[in-house]
Amino acid sequence: MAEQHKKGARRPDGPRELALEVLRRVEEQGAYSGLALHGMLSEAELSRPDKALATELVYGTIQRLNTIDQVLSSKVKGWPRKVEPWVRCLLRLSYYQLRWLERVPAHAAVDEAVRIAKKRGHAGIAGLVNGVLRGLLREGVTLPLPADLPVAERISLTHSHPRWLVERWIAAYGEQTAETLCAADNEPPHASVRVNRLRTDRAALLADMAEAGLDVSPSPLSADAIVATRAGSLADTPWYRNGLLTVQDESSMLVAAVADPKPGMSVLDCCAAPGGKSTHLAEIMQNRGRVIANDVHPHKRPLIDKQKERLGLGIIETTTSDALALTDLLPPDSMDVVLLDAPCSGFGVIRRKPEIKWNKTPEDIAGLAELQHQLLRAASALVKPGGVLVYSTCTITPEENGESIRVFLADHPHFSLDSEWPDEVLEPLRERNIIPEPFPGMVQLLPHHFGSDGFFIARLRRT
């Protein structure tokens, strides 16, 4: 059985087996779903529809994990801990198909699950898988939740989020918004690209992409963004290779736009890899001035170098340093603009990395908030009098966002929130009533606002 399992793990046959192997690696090895999936898809000889099915099964199963486990716990004795990890993963992805993938015939999902169980295990496991799945089909794959559940538990099981996280979001945003953003986390992310304004403009690129048969539209959030659906890999196009665009989420594009650096300025991006915000800063500056793109990881430096060369941006200088130690490398009070896109819990990108919601803990949030306080103090020392400090995260927890800014301002009275943001940034936020009036100089974007990533951005000025 062990040899069969190992052999099957090495050579997945079809999209369901490939998805099973990715899920097993996430379950047993703590692998990142996106990296594991990309690696296996690049080696597998699957058709485009089969690759799409494997991708849907991986992300969907992880997204719906606690809802799936709540149902299977009533069908399998000792679920989940007394069931082998690969069997757990097989039953989960099979149940996900039965409940959420209407285009997959139920008999096909069950038959394939039984085939995989026989290949990897033995007749007893195949019988278990067959019995559980056919029992679900007989009784109905959608089991009603008890009517008297507390609100947080109901949202948790309906939209598949940890209860502790739902409770925090209810406290921060209210019950209705918390449920809406949990539902949005389970929607597939759309693709978006940033136009390199030094080589083309949005109207021209939109026309070229539409002429090539892509379903594209201008972003309602970012003036530099194009949204694409069913477009395949936009990084595998002539527009990308020729430096006309960068693949980037729309919310992320707002960060450099809020920084609003002018040509000739000295700008620092403290945590820059893979380079999306650094290159955007350089484009806004018309490739005139100086952008220092720093990252703590030496192996990520070539990623930034590759992007700046592809986009034709000569003003970007890459460095490798802990952001806390940048004050040892750069003179104090030397930067017109400092961007700190801080390490964070990542709860704004759950749609892209669904395992985040299951892997993070309240203790992680507290630890990250403390690190963010340290990074803000270090970054602020490099800002010129009259200069700008922009703080951003791709998370939606108040402790890492607004509260971090309030703690910083209490300790640094020579900084204040700056509400003088470019009109092109503020107009779409005002149109959807996302920011209060008067505008405080910081914003929390949630995943359902524009269908983009959850992001926090604050602009501070040294007075």
382-416: pLDDT as tens digits = 999 999 999 999 999 999 999 999 999 999 999 99
pLDDT at residue number 47: 92
| 8 Å CB contact between 449 and 249 | no
Beta-ladder partners of 268: 292, 338
Query: Minimal CA–CA distance to 89: which of 149, 40, 41, 20?
Result: 20
Q: How many helices (H) and strands (E) does the chain have?
A: 22, 12
d(CA 393, CA 261): 19
- Higher-confidence position of 3 and 385: 385
Is pLDDT at 16 greater than 50 in this prediction? yes
In order of start, what are the domains of the chain with their CATH numbers?
Answer: 2-139 (1.10.940.10), 151-185 (no CATH), 191-247 (3.30.70.1170), 250-462 (3.40.50.150)
- Amino acid making up residue 68: I
Backbone angles phi, psi at 66, to 5 degrees: -75, -30
Report the greatest alpha carbon distance in the chain. Answer: 73
pLDDT at residue number 312: 97
Beta-ladder partners of 246: 194
Mean pLDDT of 265-293: 98
Query: Minimal CA–CA distance to 455: which of 411, 390, 389, 410?
Result: 390
List C-alpha distances in Å: 157 to 47, 51, 143, 288: 34, 28, 11, 52
The pLDDT tens digits for 205-257 are 999 999 999 999 999 999 999 999 888 889 999 999 999 999 999 999 999 99
pLDDT at residue number 7: 38
d(CA 356, CA 30): 11
pLDDT at residue number 215: 94
Active site residue 270: no
Position 84 confidence tier, pLDDT thresholds 50, 70, 90: very high
Mean pLDDT of 190-202: 96
Is pLDDT at 6 greater than 70 in this prediction? no
d(CA 5, CA 59): 23
Position 3 confidence tier, pLDDT thresholds 50, 70, 90: very low
The pLDDT tens digits for 96-105 are 999 999 888 9
| 8 Å CB contact between 191 and 229 | yes
The pLDDT tens digits for 123-174 are 899 999 999 999 999 999 988 888 899 999 999 999 999 999 999 999 999 9
pLDDT at residue number 337: 98
Position 2 confidence tier, pLDDT thresholds 50, 70, 90: very low
Torsion sign across C-alpha atoms 383, 388, 392, 398:
positive
How high is the mean pLDDT of the chain? 94
pLDDT at residue number 200: 97
Strands 316-320 and 415-417 come out as unpaired
Is pLDDT at 4 greater than 60 in this prediction? no
The token duo for 411 is 């300790």
pLDDT at residue number 10: 53
| 8 Å CB contact between 415 and 366 | no
The token duo for 307 is 């992007």
Position 13 confidence tier, pLDDT thresholds 50, 70, 90: confident
Three-class SS state of 267: strand
d(CA 308, CA 151): 48
pLDDT at residue number 9: 44
Position 344 confidence tier, pLDDT thresholds 50, 70, 90: very high
Q: How many CB atoms are closer than 10 A to CB 138?
A: 8
Is pLDDT at 12 greater than 80 in this prediction? no
User: Could you tell me what percentage of the chain is helix, strand and coil, using 3-state DSSP and rounding each to the nearest 5?
Assistant: 55, 15, 35
The token duo for 387 is 């200069």
d(CA 254, CA 257): 5
Secondary element (H or E) of residue 418: none
> Residue 287: which region, alpha, beta or left (left: phi > 0; alpha: psi -120 to 50)?
left
One-character DSSP codes across 90-129: HHHHHHHHHHH-TTS-HHHHHHHHHHHHHHHS-HHHHHHH
The pLDDT tens digits for 360-381 are 999 999 999 999 999 999 999 9
